[in-house]
């Protein structure tokens, strides 16, 4: 596992000197206003990327370069210093709308705007779509710079979604245990603008042929996987309802990603907690919470295992 990248005052100053529009830096503090940071996030990334690459790697930035994990982390750290908002240079990986950042003070604000945007998109694509009322639930990839001036990768997730992914992994392992199977994917002819795909006009998409081999138990596998999906949905919805009235809490755990990089999973239990998570004071706003005393996830994991066991009996597996 690579050690975390720490900011260097010398590098920051050198990068700033190469920017077309230098920002106000004081040691390891970015004292520029939020509009300047969002400018480098949404409007002039190339200028920033080039300045960082010239200082760190002694060459202009090239998006096609194959960088090592260490170089990727260094690039992300220094980009975040100039682009991220607030005390911890907070950043949503998937954020594409500048107004969502500007108008969101808390995590709950951002989730509400995200929900409204998704509902608008669904309604535009379906004449009979019934809009859903807002209920706090989220799953975002994030980055921020901690109090030690180190880059932190993380997932900011509601507790119901955290349970969902844990049950997904648990179900996958149980299914593979009782019905070993393989999935083969082969490319078909390349097509353009395939109906039903989120594909930019004029871009090519590749159709895939998916073949499942369960050694004669394909029908049982399909039924078991369908059962798992419905059971996970049911348990997750039950959990979500239970969490609404719980005291606000946040739990944090450390995991490794597929690059063997450490990242944090921050689990926010309900809307009461989300309202207290300030994006511009991110680290201090979540560290004030006490971790929940009981791991309620376990209760639902055990429930799913019991339901799965009963289902196996009906399938004669």
- The pLDDT tens digits for 30-53 are 999 999 999 999 988 899 999 999
Average pLDDT over residues 7-15: 96
pLDDT at 288: 83
Q: Output the pTM of the full model.
A: 0.86
pLDDT at 96: 79
C-alpha span between 261 and 143 (Å, rounded)? 13
Nearest to 85 by CA among 44, 143, 139: 143
- Helix or strand holding residue 151 (H, E): strand 151-158
Residue 197 has pLDDT above 50, yes or no: no
Residue % of the chain over a pLDDT of 90? 68
C-alpha span between 147 and 87 (Å, rounded)? 9
pLDDT at 198: 46
The answer to whether the CB of 103 falls within 8 A of the CB of 116 is: no
Residue 110 has pLDDT above 80, yes or no: yes
Nearest-5° angle of CA 44, CA 46, CA 47? 75
C-alpha span between 299 and 305 (Å, rounded)? 10
Lowest mean pLDDT, pick from 127-141, 182-196, 239-253: 182-196
Nearest to 225 by CA among 280, 278, 171: 171
Summarised one tens digit per residue, pLDDT across range 203-256 is 556 788 888 888 989 999 999 999 999 999 999 999 999 999 999 999 998 887
Residue labelled with tokens 């990603």: 257
Q: What is the 3-state secondary structure (H, E, C) of 17-59?
A: HHCCCCCCEECCEECCCHHHHHHHHHCCHHHHHHHHHHHHHCC
Mean pLDDT of the residues in the chain: 89
Residue labelled with tokens 């975002």: 140
pLDDT at 149: 94
Q: Grade residue 105 by pLDDT with cuts at 50, 70 and 90.
A: very high
Nearest to 14 by CA among 66, 72, 53: 53
Average pLDDT over residues 265-281: 96
The answer to whether the CB of 274 falls within 8 A of the CB of 110 is: no
pLDDT at 281: 97
Alpha helices in the chain (DSSP H): 9-18, 34-42, 45-57, 69-83, 98-102, 107-124, 159-178, 218-243, 271-276, 282-287, 296-315
Lowest mean pLDDT, pick from 26-35, 123-132, 139-148, 230-239: 123-132
Average pLDDT over residues 104-125: 93
pLDDT at 1: 57
Sign of CA dihedral 31, 32, 38, 39: negative
CB environment 64-95: b (16+ within 10 A), e (fewer) = eeeeeeeeebbbbbbbbbbbbbbbbbbbbeeb
pLDDT at 171: 97
Average pLDDT over residues 76-101: 93
pLDDT at 262: 80
C-alpha span between 260 and 2 (Å, rounded)? 8
β-bridge partners, 266: 156, 252
């Amino acid at each position: 596992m690579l050690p975390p990248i720490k900011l260097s005052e010398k590098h920051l100053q050198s990068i700033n000197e190469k920017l077309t529009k230098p920002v106000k830096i004081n040691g390891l503090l970015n004292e520029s206003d939020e509009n300047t940071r969002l400018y480098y996030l949404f409007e002039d990334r190339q200028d920033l990327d080039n300045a960082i690459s010239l200082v760190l790697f002694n060459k202009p930035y090239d998006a096609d370069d194959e960088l090592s994990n260490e170089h990727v982390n260094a690039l992300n750290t220094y980009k975040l210093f100039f682009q991220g908002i607030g005390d911890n240079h907070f950043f949503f990986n998937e954020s594409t709308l500048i107004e969502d950042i500007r108008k969101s003070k808390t995590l709950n604000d951002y989730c509400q705007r995200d929900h409204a945007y998704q509902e608008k998109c669904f309604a535009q694509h379906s004449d009979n779509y019934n809009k859903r009322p807002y209920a706090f639930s989220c799953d975002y990839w994030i980055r921020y710079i901690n109090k030690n001036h180190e880059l932190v990768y993380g997932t900011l997730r509601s507790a119901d979604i955290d349970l969902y992914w844990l049950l997904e992994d648990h179900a996958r392992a149980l299914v593979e245990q009782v019905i070993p199977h393989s999935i083969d994917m082969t490319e078909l002819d390349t097509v353009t603008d395939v109906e039903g795909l989120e594909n930019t006009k004029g871009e090519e998409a590749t159709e895939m042929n998916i073949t499942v081999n369960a050694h004669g138990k394909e029908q049982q596998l399909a039924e078991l996987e369908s059962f798992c999906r419905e059971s996970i949905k049911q348990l997750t919805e039950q959990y979500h309802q239970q969490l609404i009235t719980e005291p606000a809490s946040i739990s944090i755990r450390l995991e490794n990603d597929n690059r063997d990089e450490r990242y944090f999973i921050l689990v926010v239990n309900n809307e009461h907690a989300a309202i207290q998570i300030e994006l511009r004071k991110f680290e201090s706003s979540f560290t004030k919470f006490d971790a929940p005393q009981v791991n309620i996830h376990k209760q639902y994991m055990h429930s799913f295992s019991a339901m799965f066991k009963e289902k196996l009996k009906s399938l004669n597996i």
